[in-house]
Amino acid sequence: MIEHQPYGNDDPYKSTAIERFPRDPGPAEAVQVGFRTDPGASEAWIELRHVSESGATSQESIRATSLGEGLWSADFGPFEGGRVEYRLVARQADGSLVESDHAFEVGRWVRVTGVAGVAALGNQVAVSLQTTGAPARLLVSFPTPGAARCELQVGEMASTPALPDLPTPTIENGSAHTSISGPDIALYLDRQRLRLSAVSTSGGALAGEQQFSVDLALCWLERPGAFTIPIRLGLHVGAGEHVYGLGERFMDAHREGKAWDVRVYEEFKEQRQRTYIPVPFIVTNRANGLWLEADEPSYFDLRHSDATLSIDRIVDPVSPSGARSLLTFTLFAGERPYDVTAAFTRLTGSIAVPPKWAFGPWMSANTWNSQAISEEVVNRTLSEDVPATVIVLEAWSDESTFYIFNDAKYQAVPGEAVLKLADFEFGGRWPDPKSMIDFWHANGLRVVLWQIPVHKRLGESHAQHDADGRHMVENGYVIRNEDGTPYRNKGWWFGDAMVTDFRNPAAAEWWFSKRRYLIDEFGIDGFKTDGGEHLWGRDLRAADGSRGLELFNTYANRYVEAYNSFVQAATGGDGVTFSRSGYTGAQRFPIHWAGDEDSSWTAYRASIKAGLSAGVSGISMWSYDIAGFSGEIPPPDLYMRSTAMAALCPIMQYHSEYHTVTECRDRTPWNIAERHGDPQVLDTYRRYAKLRMRLLDYLHGEAQALSGEGVPLMRYPALEYPSEHDFLGQDEYAYLLGRDLLVAPVTERGVGTREVLLPSGRWIDAWSGSELTGQRRFHAPAPVDRIPVFVKAESPRLGTLLAAFARWRQDEPEG
């Protein structure tokens, strides 16, 4: 037996002992392979054969080094192109030999060396490129005002039809430069330096020496018959220019100075540079932007001003007479940075707005695993006069089908059949869920149920689960390996589960037919669509032909989009999804939350950063778990500070993980208050929840207004006021909420004031009604139950907002 997986699990951060390093060796890269044999193997070696591009062949035998316990390692290379075949050989304890054959294409780098010409091509512009290999061109078009789409094509060029509904560009040639203009944007091509920059023509700065630009000296690795082609694109960031974006990121606002993977990834707590919702889109404080229009994972190396963007693209071979589309990127330019976000959302999908009730306070805990516990919690929130509009039930199902209430009795049906409410006899943990849900609805509480997009691997027989699983496999409703067998999740969470293929319309229809009764008969209002991150292996296949690299990022969107479409259709647009993962265009199916975090000040600060970062990429309807969901309960001050911030962010929610300890770890305000012996916690949460309810119309209205503009509810002041960027950017945590509010969360413990950096203009303290002049730094009062908030003095909504905050005093407890 020899076990060798060249790509391991395709985990971008964690390697295995039996993979190849690097996974796809290129020219001049040394290679190491790891493999496993039976522990009794006495020796192992590699029989290596290299065929160069000229056809010359060389062979050698390389002895492997034993690492113990049947693990071996061997080093070889580097190579300058060609094909490498290697056979792993091991001598077993009985003297017999076992073998395993593998190969890879080294390839050669092709580089763009110059511009051969620029010509109009219908409503596109063709920039002909000189290369060290096949002919290439960059096709430029203008899909929306302020955006220029650039598609790199390689190979013999066929005629290109005009693109529908796009404007005709204007071309102006100079001695060394060419300008290509479209609506509100002009591209400046420096033909000598091979630089392409974008400038706003609706008020932006002129192109200059330090202008944000891409390097047209692109390069790509040609591998004959290879599955993927690595492509590199240079990016130049001007002095004093700061880069934002790349989706939901838990780090500081500026992206320059670090390297970033754009890969949907589930990191349980302390995500740092990893994220559930990456987006290959950046914006600068000078209102420049770039989007890599690709499904495959990409890599933004922004450690230097001359940055590199790279991606392994799936590029299928074409006939010699046809061109291959290697890469598409879009350059943006606007008057303000959020103009770039607006243009991006016009291209990737409008920001959808959930129903008004979704903007009220949410309540959730994974330990609410029975009707008795859930009813007790709801009754407590009603008796404590703590407003809530949504309850999330995570631990409601049988943990097998995930569409049947736990402990329900029923007769299993064939996989293609569906169950209805009348088919169940309820008892045990959920004796009468229908009456429970009806009571909650009567008291203004909507109900959201937890979901996961997998068919769980069980350790025992379960009739309905087994029938469903057989039906999924027989009808091609699951993601498959290249050999046609069902893919089994290689991740740690729901390991070995089959993954539903939502790219197959029949699979989605079948999946939701099983869940339709939850909405139609129970009246469920939405689903918490958890997970979606665990696809590993580039040999995966979906029903529409999509492969592993194309699925790693996009599966999350297809999964959530399918649920969202189902919910909206079933509820008449009055339902929600609440999701953790996503990719480009995730704003089309809200809501998203920041995932799993500890109850710590560090995690609280990281969550605020994540919400602001997500907004730059268009993800507006965002939430996080108040004061974190994991571990021991948060201290009172953290809970109150986090509550204040949550009451003034897009979606307000508390949640806690499952636990088995004796002490209750629910993040309900009364549990935090009682366990710490601090009644102020409950009082403070109640008052902020009531403030939230008074702001319900405002938040929903602002969500609609700003979504119509294509910008998020939560925004960086430094990007909203770019002329004051260096001043306002000193505050990492303050943000604008809607068109009128400046919110300054308190993120340090033990303080009674909060330094505030006010943007220009006139501002009204929401608590005191005092007027302040902007472009100033001052310390605002910030007792433990108070968050500094300011309202634009010119806002037509000023009176409504001040009235909402003025009622705070009426909500104070007596005595």
Angle (deg, nearest 10), helices 463-474 and 505-513: 160
Residue type for position 311? I
In terms of DSSP H, where are the helices of 456-547?
463-474, 505-513, 516-520
- The residues, ordered by sequence, that sit 6+ positions from 523 with a Cβ below 8 Å of its Cβ are 437, 438, 441, 447
The CB density around residue 533, as the number of other CB atoms within 10 Å, is 23
533 is catalytic: yes
Instruction: Band the pLDDT of 149: cuts 50, 70, 90.
Output: very high
Nearest partner of 387 among 449, 443, 436, 434, judged by Cα: 443
The topology (CATH level 3) of 363-453+504-531+548-683 is TIM Barrel (3.20.20)
Dist CA 476 CA 811 (whole Å): 57
Res 229: pLDDT: 82
Q: In a 3-state reduction of DSSP, which class is residue 779? A: strand
**Half-sphere exposure (CA, 13 Å, Cβ side) for 454?**
23
**The one catalytic residue among 394, 530, 637, 731:** 530
Q: 313 to each of 221, 377, 673, how far by Cα in Å?
A: 10, 50, 53
Phi, psi of 400 (to 5 degrees): -130, -60
Res 305: pLDDT: 83
Instruction: Band the pLDDT of 560: cuts 50, 70, 90.
Output: very high
Q: In a 3-state reduction of DSSP, which class is residue 685? A: helix
Specify the pairing of strand 454-455 against strand 57-63: unpaired
Structural domain spans, the chain: 2-106, 109-348, 363-453+504-531+548-683, 740-811
Nearest partner of 361 among 623, 109, 13, judged by Cα: 623
Check for a shared fold between 2-106 and 740-811.
Answer: yes
- Helix or strand run (H / E) with residue 765: strand 762-765
- Helix or strand run (H / E) with residue 558: helix 548-571
Res 630: pLDDT: 86
Res 317: pLDDT: 61
Average pLDDT (753-762) is 98
- Which of 593-621 are b and which e, b meaning 16 or more Cβ less than 10 Å from the residue's Cβ? bbbbbbbbbebbbbbbbbbbbbbbbbbbb
pLDDT digits (tens, 9 = 90+) for 235-283: 998 888 999 999 999 999 999 999 999 999 988 777 788 899 999 999 9
Dist CA 686 CA 810 (whole Å): 12
Residue type for position 162? A
Dist CA 137 CA 150 (whole Å): 10
Dist CA 318 CA 333 (whole Å): 34
**The one catalytic residue among 24, 501, 596, 785:** 596
pLDDT digits (tens, 9 = 90+) for 41-67: 999 999 999 999 889 999 999 999 999
Res 322: pLDDT: 67
Average pLDDT (389-395) is 98
pLDDT digits (tens, 9 = 90+) for 349-374: 999 999 999 999 999 999 999 999 99
Is the predicted pLDDT of residue 197 greater than 80, yes or no?
Answer: yes
Asked if residue 590 has a cis previous peptide bond (ω within 30° of 0), the answer is: no
pLDDT digits (tens, 9 = 90+) for 696-716: 999 999 999 999 999 999 999
663 is catalytic: no
Res 318: pLDDT: 56
Is the predicted pLDDT of residue 141 greater than 70, yes or no?
Answer: yes
- Helix or strand run (H / E) with residue 149: strand 147-155
Instruction: Band the pLDDT of 773: cuts 50, 70, 90.
Output: very high
Res 301: pLDDT: 94
In terms of DSSP H, where are the helices of 126-212?
none
Res 659: pLDDT: 79
Q: Say if CB 214 and CB 193 are below 8 A apart.
A: no
Res 207: pLDDT: 40
Asked whether the CA dihedral 536, 460, 431, 667 is positive or negative, the reply is negative
Nearest partner of 253 among 745, 737, 731, judged by Cα: 731
Is the predicted pLDDT of residue 22 greater than 50, yes or no?
Answer: yes
Specify the pairing of strand 592-593 against strand 622-623: parallel
398 is catalytic: no
Dist CA 280 CA 266 (whole Å): 17
Pair of tokens at residue 171:
């071309």
Is the predicted pLDDT of residue 321 greater than 70, yes or no?
Answer: no
Is the predicted pLDDT of residue 465 greater than 90, yes or no?
Answer: yes
pLDDT digits (tens, 9 = 90+) for 469-486: 999 999 999 999 999 999
Is the predicted pLDDT of residue 102 greater than 70, yes or no?
Answer: yes
Is the predicted pLDDT of residue 319 greater than 60, yes or no?
Answer: no
Res 159: pLDDT: 67
Specify the pairing of strand 390-393 against strand 361-365: parallel
Res 226: pLDDT: 63
- Helix or strand run (H / E) with residue 678: none
Res 205: pLDDT: 47
Q: Say if CB 98 and CB 45 are below 8 A apart.
A: no
Dist CA 44 CA 55 (whole Å): 29
Residue type for position 196? L
Quote the percentage of the chain above a pLDDT of 90: 87
Dist CA 267 CA 657 (whole Å): 15
**The one catalytic residue among 190, 295, 296, 533:** 533
Instruction: Band the pLDDT of 548: cuts 50, 70, 90.
Output: very high
Residue type for position 208? G
Res 267: pLDDT: 80
Count, residues in the chain:
815
Nearest partner of 685 among 410, 362, 417, judged by Cα: 362
Q: Say if CB 785 and CB 681 are below 8 A apart.
A: no
- The residues, ordered by sequence, that sit 6+ positions from 1 with a Cβ below 8 Å of its Cβ are 36, 37, 38, 98
Res 209: pLDDT: 40
Nearest partner of 490 among 560, 548, 554, judged by Cα: 548
Quote the percentage of the chain above a pLDDT of 70: 97
The topology (CATH level 3) of 109-348 is Immunoglobulin-like (2.60.40)
- Quote the mean pLDDT of the chain: 94
Q: Which CATH superfamily hosts domain 2-106?
A: Immunoglobulins (2.60.40.10)
Average pLDDT (214-219) is 93
State pTM to two decimals: 0.95
The topology (CATH level 3) of 740-811 is Immunoglobulin-like (2.60.40)
- The residues, ordered by sequence, that sit 6+ positions from 48 with a Cβ below 8 Å of its Cβ are 59, 60, 61, 62, 76, 84, 85, 86, 87
Phi, psi of 217 (to 5 degrees): -80, 55
Q: In a 3-state reduction of DSSP, which class is residue 610? A: helix
Res 238: pLDDT: 86
Phi, psi of 569 (to 5 degrees): -65, -40
Nearest partner of 56 among 82, 31, 76, judged by Cα: 82
pLDDT digits (tens, 9 = 90+) for 406-446: 999 999 999 999 999 999 999 999 999 999 999 999 999 99
Average pLDDT (780-809) is 95
Phi, psi of 741 (to 5 degrees): -105, 140
**First-residue to last-residue Cα distance in the chain:** 77
Pair of tokens at residue 169:
């560009």
Adjacent-strand bridge partners of 178: 173, 189
Q: In a 3-state reduction of DSSP, which class is residue 611? A: helix
